Every structure is written in C-alpha cells, then in structure tokens.
Structure 1
Amino acid sequence: MSELKCKLVFDGYWKEKNIINVPEQTGIYCVYTYTINEINKKQKLTIHKLIFIGFSENARTSVLQHETSGEFKKYQGDRQKICYSFAPLDKIHSEQVKLALIISLNPIANSDVVKKFDYDKTQISTEGQNNLMKSEIILSKNV
C-alpha cells in the first residue's frame, strides 16, 4: 500500500423533499440532523449532528433507502429533521477514505464499525457542504 491524498468536495444539503436530486454517482454520503430557523424573515439551515457516513456506488439509491427505512429518526432532537450531503469518490479508495472519516469524526450511527486502520498514511481534505467535518484529516496505520 502507499500514501493516499484525497480531496472530497461535498454538495448538499438535500432535505426529504429534494433527495431525488442526490447524484446517481459513486462516492461518500453523509447524514445530518438539522433545523430551519427564521432570521430576519430569511430561513437559515442549522446543522446539528453528523450521524452517519456511508459509501455507495449510487448515492441517490442509498439515500432513498435510508429515508424510506426511517432508521435515522431516532437520532433527531426536538424539531430536527434529516438531510444529506455527497462527495464523488472512486470505488478503488472507498473503504480507506470512509474508514478514515468514520474514525476521525465518530458519527453515532457508525458505532458498529471496527476502528482499526490498516492503511498507510491517508490525507483527506474536505470542502463544500462539510459542516461538522475537519477540513484536513490525516491518519496512519494503527500500531
């Protein structure tokens, strides 16, 4: 294995009514809780928690399955709803990048993931709709 540098540019945030706009692409998707607040007669989306990080060969299909199952509702607080973000990523590095994100960010719905990182140095930068994420993540093998 060799060192990996990866840049993830997240798009979103897709709410229940517009998740059909999530790309039918391979990549990383994130699940958040949010609320809408009205400030100066303008609606403002406030992200509260990053609750899940996943990888899919078709992000739209995965997001629709999550939304239909309602599996993340138990993580919603008062007045909170669920929204999604997405960053394209080739399948070849998907497990490595997903695991690095999960270990670094510790989303509650990924608590079943074994936190052993058996990859060489992995450096991930994140941009875009990436609330509650670090802009730079660096991990190396667990010793």
Structure 2
Amino acid sequence: MTEQILSPKMLGYWTEETLKEVPDDSGIYCVFRAATDPETEEMDVQELLYVGEHRSARFGLTHDEHRDRWHAFPPPDEEIWYAVGLCGNANRERLAAAMINAHKPRFNADSEYLDRFPFDATTVHLYGKKHKLQSIFSVERHD
C-alpha cells in the first residue's frame, strides 16, 4: 500500500425512525449522542460514540453487534443519531480504522485500531455533516 488521501462526504443525520433512508452503499457509519444544545435549544450531535464499516452502511447500522449498547447509553432526553460516509470496498476498512484511531469513540474500546494503524499513512478530509468530527487529519502507520 501507499500513502492515501480519503475524502468521504458525511451524509446524515438519521434517527432510529429514519434508518430505512440510510444509503444501501459501501461505507463507514458513525453513531452519535444527540442532545438539546443549551444555546440554540435544538437537538444536535454532542459526541461520537462509535464508528463501523460495512458493504451496506444501512445493513451495518441495523445489524451491528453494539446496537444494544448504543441505545442503552443515552438518558431519556437524548437520542442516538447516525451519519454515513460512502467509501468503496477497497478503502472502507482503512477509512474506518483511521476514524477510530483519530477519534477514539467510547464504543470502539474493543477495536484493534484504537492504538494501532496497520495501513500506510492516510490523510482523511471529511466534508458534509461532520459536526464533532475532525475535518482533516492524518494517521501514520503503527503496527
């Protein structure tokens, strides 16, 4: 492999009720805690909880083994929201690994990518719905 730049457009936000609208395409998915912003009094993402990847982002979100943990986490006045970044099969795992390594989401605590990145240097440039995510970051190989 060689150094790579990945630039997914982050699509979303979806709630549990609108999951059927999530694209059925290859990519990563992000799970967020959403709560009422005290300044605007509107619901907004507050924290990235989890990053996953699948050849179908919608299927990944609806069948991920961590779903029960996500939904047990927020108090009643908060919600779980979802975003998706489309990415081809060839780079999907690399993108998810970079996101996990850079952001260290709490529900990816069992991920092999928290403290290691087995790919060559990767720069990620996110655009679209990227609130609470680093817009541009690089991850160096460390096995």
TM-score normalized by the length of structure 1: 0.87
* Shift, 1:118, TM fit: 2.1
- Give the gaps of 5 or more residues in structure 1: none
Q: Aligned Cα RMSD in Å? A: 2.3
Partners of 2:75 and 2:137 lie apart in 1 by: 28
String of CA shifts for 1:19-63, please: whole Å, max 9, x gaps: 1100000001100011246988xx722111110001011111122
Match of 1:97 among 95, 98, 119: 95
What's the CA shift for 1:70? Answer: 2.9
**Residue identity opposite 1:130 in structure 2:** K
Q: What is the CA deviation profile of residues 112-133 of structure 1, one whole-angstrom value per residue up to 9, with x for unaligned ones?
A: 1122112221010001111111
- Output one character per residue of 1:83-142: Cα deviation in whole Å (capped at 9) or x when no partner: 100111011112211111101000000011122112221010001111111010101112
| Contact 2:26 2:92 (C-alpha < 8 Å) held by counterparts | no
Calculate percent identity across the aligned residue pairs: 22
Which runs of structure 2 are paired with 1:1-143 in the superposition (5 Å)? 1-36=1-36, 44-66=42-64, 69-114=67-112, 115-142=115-142
State the distance in 1 between where 2:103 and 2:84 align: 16
C-alpha separation between the residues in 1 aligned to 2:118 and 2:55?
23
- Contact 2:7–2:124 (CA<8 Å) still a contact in 1? yes
Instruction: Flag as ranges the 4+ runs of structure 1 deviating above 3 A.
Output: 36-40
Which structure has the larger Rg? Answer: 1
The structural deviation recorded for 1:66 is 4.5
- Whether the aligned pair in 2 keeps the contact of 1:66 and 1:72 (CA below 8 Å) is no
In the TM superposition, what is the alpha-carbon distance from 1:78 to its structure 2 partner?
5.0
Question: In the alignment, is the contact (CA less than 8 A) between 1:51 and 1:75 conserved in 2?
Answer: no
| C-alpha separation in 2, matches of 1:2 and 1:39 | 44
Aligned pairs, how many? 141
Q: TM-score, normalised by structure 2?
A: 0.87
Separation in structure 1 between the aligned mates of residue 19 and residue 29 of structure 2, nearest angstrom: 12
Paired residue type of 2:5: K
